[in-house]
Structure 1
Amino acid sequence: MKPTTARAVHGVVAVVAAVAVVWQLALIVNGEAVLNESSRPDLGVRLARFVSYFTVLSNLLVLGCSVVLARNPLHDGLRWRLVRMATMVGITVTGVVHWFLLRPLLDLSGSSYAVDKLLHVVVPVLALVAWVVAGPRGQAARPQVLGALLWPLLWSALTLLRGAVTGWWPYPFIDVDELGWARVLANLVGVAVLFALCGFAFVAADRALARRSPRAA
């Protein structure tokens, strides 16, 4: 793929991710419910909770990486490779967990429904498509998988700590008050395994795609 085309592809992902995050932020500021919450806390609390969702964080990572690649589609570096792996694995898990665990529990309509689909379906799909068709190739390696697990593990620890103190849980599958510690920890182990499997899948796919496009690698 020509660099100009690759920049355009990543640029589209960046624009869609930005629209999704800003739109969700606008709904939060307006007091819209998230995951059918019945209460409407103060704005400061709503904003703090907004940046506490893994979905929002993974979409922000996609936005940041896409902006970098829209400027230079062959951007590289050791730290970049780790961030890129964490981003791709994070947004993939966001889509999978939403589809299988959260989607059946939601009853959204209007703007809330639209932005939910942007964050959980459209951005993950676009990010994956852009990774496949525009690369850059040859940057994924197995050691990055362990590093990519660090931020979701940190997010999980902070979320459990805050939930224990405040009683607020961003997702039903991590609600200790409802499910108990044993069930929640089992759920998180399952998600961690999913992260690792996705990471190794990205490594294998990157190698296969690099062999098909040696010049891009």
Structure 2
Amino acid sequence: MQTSKLNLTLARLVFASTALVCFIGVLLELWYAYYHKSSLPPNAGFTRTFGPGIDSLLNQFSFFTTQSNLILGITTLLLALNLHRTSSAFHIWRLIGIINITITGIVFNFVLQTVPKNDIIADTASRLEHDIAPIIAVIGWIIFGPANKVTLRRILLAAILPIAYAIFTLIRGAIMEWYPYNIMDVPRLGYSGVSINIVGIFVLFLLIAGFLALIDKFLSSKFGRISFPSS
């Protein structure tokens, strides 16, 4: 459908706001990590911790939450700067950002066991990354898309990233004797228990991707979702 200047402005504002939420959340998370010793997941089967200092800050990039917010933040910032993106690679990363941030919100709020930080910086970072970012990301995608960009090929290519993340985390964990989440705690759960959790998360990834594909097709055909022209 033809987009008005108001729609274009609103789309840029929503995408820019989403990017800002993601980047502020990550920056606060990194600030807190630099000045505090890392905490262990509840009932952890390992004892290694990081920090305070640069090692704790750098370790934050191994968290799925951090990576999801960075991918979402970068892709929405790029959309805010230029709505008319036609690159298939970009829309694969856009899809990764939406799916991964949705997984982040669901798993953190309904699956993970966490230790409260009781710190305004850490709590604000967590709220931005796990609650606000997923909500505004999905709402922004539903309203502004870009529409008609979810395909089976892109879903399959996007699925490579969570697989790579799981492999990387298990290899790194075995070397460093540290794991980012209690659901990936190999010393406590064993590889069989962790594998079940990983398969469950991957199934969730595919379910979300399929749901997005159906919503994309349904809304685009029934309500004419906003689709930005290439020129």
Distance in structure 2 (CA, Å) of the matches to 1:157 and 1:85: 21
**Selected match of 1:64 from 59, 64, 74:** 74
Residue 212 of structure 1: how far off its partner (Å): 3.2
1:157-196 equivalent positions in 2, closer than 5 A: 157-196=167-206
- Once the two structures are superposed, residues 11-60 of structure 1 have per-residue CA deviations (whole angstroms, 9 ceiling, x without a partner) of 11111111101111111111253556884436342133111001000000
Superposition CA RMSD, Å: 1.9
Distance in structure 2 (CA, Å) of the matches to 1:101 and 1:108: 18
For structure 1, list consecutive stretches of 5 or more residues without a partner in the other structure.
none
Aligned residue type for 1:82: I
* Paired residue secondary structure (1:51): helix
Aligned residue type for 1:27: Y
- Once the two structures are superposed, residues 68-95 of structure 1 have per-residue CA deviations (whole angstroms, 9 ceiling, x without a partner) of 1111223222111211111111111111
Q: Counterpart in 2 of 1:108?
A: 117
Aligned residue type for 1:119: E
Q: Counterpart in 2 of 1:82?
A: 92
* Paired residue secondary structure (1:180): helix
Distance in structure 2 (CA, Å) of the matches to 1:23 and 1:186: 32
Judge conservation of contact 2:37–2:51 (CA < 8 Å) in 1: no
Judge conservation of contact 2:179–2:185 (CA < 8 Å) in 1: yes
Give the number of equivalent residue pairs. Answer: 216
Judge conservation of contact 1:29–1:43 (CA < 8 Å) in 2: yes
Q: Counterpart in 2 of 1:197?
A: 207
What TM-score comes out, normalization by structure 2 length? 0.87
Q: Counterpart in 2 of 1:149?
A: 159
Residue 210 of structure 1: how far off its partner (Å): 1.1
* Relative contact order, higher structure (CA 8 A, sep 6+): 2
For the pair 1:23 / 2:33, whether they are aligned, the reply is no
Aligned residue type for 1:132: I
* Paired residue secondary structure (2:85): coil
Q: Counterpart in 2 of 1:120?
A: 130
Distance in structure 1 (CA, Å) of the matches to 2:155 and 2:107: 19
For the pair 1:133 / 2:138, whether they are aligned, the reply is no
Classify 1:34/1:12 alpha carbon distance in 2 versus 1 (closer, same or farther; 3 Å): farther
Aligned residue type for 1:172: N
Residue 207 of structure 1: how far off its partner (Å): 0.8
Q: Counterpart in 2 of 1:43?
A: 53
Judge conservation of contact 2:48–2:177 (CA < 8 Å) in 1: no
Q: Counterpart in 1 of 2:44?
A: none
Q: Once structures 1 and 2 are overlaid, which stretch shifts more, 35-44 or 167-176?
A: 35-44
Q: Percent of aligned pairs with the same residue?
A: 28
Judge conservation of contact 2:34–2:54 (CA < 8 Å) in 1: no
Judge conservation of contact 1:33–1:40 (CA < 8 Å) in 2: yes
For the pair 1:8 / 2:13, whether they are aligned, the reply is yes
For structure 2, list consecutive stretches of 5 or more residues without a partner in the other structure.
42-46
Aligned residue type for 1:106: V
- Once the two structures are superposed, residues 60-118 of structure 1 have per-residue CA deviations (whole angstroms, 9 ceiling, x without a partner) of 0011011111112232221112111111111111111111112x433232222221111
What TM-score comes out, normalization by structure 1 length? 0.92
Distance in structure 2 (CA, Å) of the matches to 1:172 and 1:45: 20
* Paired residue secondary structure (2:62): coil
